[in-house]
Structure 1
Amino acid sequence: MTAPRPARPEDGLAWITGASSGIGRQVALDLARSGWTVVATARRQGELARLAAEAPQGRIIPAAADVTDAGAVAEAARRVEAETGRPIALAILNAGTYLPDSAAGFDLAAFTAQVSVNLIGTANALAAVMPAMIARRSGQIAIVSSVAGYRGLPRAIAYSATKAALIAMAESLRFDLDRAGVMINLINPGFVKTPLTDRNDFPMPFLMSVEEASRRIVAGLARGRFEVCFPRRFAYILKAMRIVPYAVYFPLVGRGTGRR
C-alpha cells in the first residue's frame, strides 16, 4: 500500500471553495503564484473575476457555484476537469459562514444557514471530488474547520457545532482515505482578520493577517501533516481546554470573554 503524499502542481488542478474573500481568496492567489492552476469557487461571479485578474494570466479559473447546491458544485468540478483535461488533485474545502448567536436571540434560520454552508456545503464538495481521487488512488483534500470546534464557545452555538463536526469528519475520513492513497488534512485557524471576524465585537487574541494565515496553510499542506493549526500558542491553549473539567472550563472562558 502506497502512503498518500501531498499533491503537486503537475498532478492536476487545485480547487478552492469559498474563494471570493478571506482565507480562501488569499490561498487561491498564493497557490496560483506558486505554479498551481487554481479553480476558484464561490457564489459571487464578479468577485471571482476580480480574483482571477490579480493572479498570473490563466492561473485562476473562476467556477461560480453555491456549495449548498450539490448538483451545482458537482457540475462546476466536472466542467473544469473536462475543459482543462486535468483532474482536481488538491481540494481545499473552505466555504463557510459565521453568524454570532446566543440562547436569548436563538434564530433557527441562521442556525440552519450555517449548518448548510459549513457542514453540508463541505460534504457536497467532498462528494464532487472524493470518488475520483479514490478511484485513481491519489489526491489531497483539506477540510477547513476552526479552533472554535475544539470546544463550545460563547456566541458560537451554530459555528462551534459545525466546526466540531468538520473536525470529526476529517478524523473519520482519515481511516479510509489513508488506505485509498488519498491525503486528508484538517485546517484549524484561530482568529484571522477577514470579513467574517470583522463582525466580532470582542477582543480576538493572537489575531493574524490573512496573508500569514495563507502562508501557514500552503506550507502545512505541502508538509502533509494531518492537522494544520495556528496561531500555535492559541491553538494549543484551546486544545488543552478540551481536557479541562466543565467546572473549570465554563467560569474560565466566561470570565475571559465577558460572558460570566
Structure 2
Amino acid sequence: MSVMTHIARPSQGSAWITGASGGIGRAVALKLARKGWTVFATARSEDDLKTLAEEAPDGRIIPAPGDVTNPDEMTAIVDQIKERGPLALVILNAGVYTPMRAVDFSAETARKMFRVNLEGVTNALDPVLKVLIAQGAGHVALTASVAGYRGLPDAAVYSATKAGLIAMGEALAMDGEDLGIRFSVICPGFVETDATAVNGFEMPFMMKPEEAATRIVDGLEKPGFEIAFPTRFVLILKAIGALPNRAYIWAQRKATNWDGSTADR
C-alpha cells in the first residue's frame, strides 16, 4: 500500500503547526484541536499563542513560541514535542508575502520572503524528518500556494518561494515511499488574512480562514498529495498554466488588467 494513503490520527501522536498565530494557521490549529488532536502551535508571538490556546477545548493547543528563521529554536520545539510522545502530523505553514513588481524590486524584501517561506520550512524539516524517520511513520504537509503553479502578477518572489515548496514536497514524497512518511502540499487560493489585505486588486474566489481550514483538515484526512482549493480557481489557473510561455504571460496580463502601472501604490 502506498504511503500516500496513510491518514494520521490523533491516537498516533501530536500535531505541530507553524505560523499558528493568525490566518490559516490559527484556524487549522483550532480545527485540529476540536477534532481531538493535541496541537503544538508555533509562532513568534507568545501572547497570540496563549490567546489561541484559551480558545481550544481541554487544553489541546500547547503554545510553542519560536521563530522559523532560527534553526536552533525549531530543533528545541521538536525536542519538546518528542518528550511528550510520537509526532504524527506536521504542518509547516509559516509564510510572509510582500507584493513586488520589477519597478520596485528589493533584494532585502526578497531575502525576507526566502528566509521565512523556504529556509523557515527547511529549519523545521531538519529535526522533524529525523524524528519521523526514526519512527518510520508520520505526515508532513507544506503550505505552498496556487501562486506556486506559475508566476503571478505582483508576486515574483512569493511565487518563486511557493513553487520551491511544491517542488520540495514532490521530491520528498518520492523518498517518503521508502521511509513510511507521507508528504503533502497545501495550495490555497485567496484567503482573507493580513497577507492578502495588502493586495490592491480584486481577488477572485476569496474565502475566510475558517473555510480554508476545513478544506485543509478534510484534505489531510484523505489520501493524496495535493490539497488545493477553491476547485474552480485551481482548475482555471492550471488550465492557463498549461499555455506556452508567451500565451501565458499575455493571458495573465489580460485577466488582471495588467498595465505595469504603479499608481495604486
Calculate the TM-score normalised by the size of structure 1. 0.97
Please, which runs of 5 or more residues in structure 1 have no aligned partner?
none
Deviation of the 1:258 alpha carbon: 2.3
Q: Deviations over 1:207-251 (max 9, x none)?
A: 111111100100000102110000001011111222201221112
Gaps in structure 2 of 5+ consecutive residues? 260-265
Tell me the residue number matched to 1:76: 77
Tell whether the 8 Å contact from 2:3 to 2:176 is kept in structure 1 after alignment.
no
1:8-27 paired onto structure 2 within 5 Å = 8-27=9-28
Name the residue aligned to 1:3: 3
Tell me which residue corresponds to 1:236.
Answer: 235
Q: CA deviation at 1:136?
A: 1.6
SS of structure 1 residue aligned to 2:104: coil
Amino acid corresponding to residue 68 of structure 1 in structure 2: T
1:81-230 superposed matches below 5 A: 81-82=82-83, 84=84, 86-230=85-229
Distance in 1, matches of 2:183 and 2:240, equals: 25
How many residues align? The count is: 258
- 1:36 match: 37
1:97 partner SS: coil
Supply the AA of the counterpart residue of 2:184.
Answer: N
The answer on whether the counterparts of 1:65 and 1:73 sit within 8 Å (CA) in structure 2 is: yes
Check conservation: 1:185, 1:224, Cα contact below 8 A: no
Per-residue CA deviations over 1:178-210 (Å, capped at 9, x if unaligned) read 111111111000001111111111000111111
Supply the AA of the counterpart residue of 2:150: R
Match of residue 262 from structure 2? none
CA distance in 2 between partners of 1:237 and 1:131 (Å): 38
Answer whether contact 2:38 2:61 (CA < 8 A) is retained. yes
SS of 1:211's partner is helix
The alpha carbon displacement at 1:147 in A equals: 0.2
Q: CA deviation at 1:2?
A: 6.9
Distance in 1 between the 2:111 and 2:126 partners? 20
Runs of 4+ in 1 over 2 A off after TM superposition: 1-4
Q: Distance in 1 between matches of 2:11 and 2:2?
A: 19
Cα deviation, residue 57, structure 1: 2.6
Q: Is the 8 A contact 2:152 2:159 kept in 1?
A: yes
> What percentage of aligned pairs have identical amino acids?
49
| Residue 55 (str. 1) matches residue 88 (str. 2) | no
Alpha carbons 1:151, 1:241 under 8 Å: kept: no
CA distance in 2, matches of 1:186, 1:2: 17
Q: Which amino acid aligns with 1:137?
A: G
Q: 1:45 maps to what in 2? A: 46
TM-score by length of 2: 0.95
Distance 1:194 1:211 in 2: 11
Tell me by how many angstroms 1:68 deviates. 0.5
Deviations, residues 109-153 of structure 1 (Å, cap 9, x unaligned): 100000000001011111121121112210000011000000101
Output the CA distance in 2 between the equivalents of 1:100 and 1:47.
25
**Is the 8 Å Cα contact of residues 189 and 234 (structure 2) preserved in structure 1?**
yes
State the secondary structure of the residue aligned to 2:161: helix
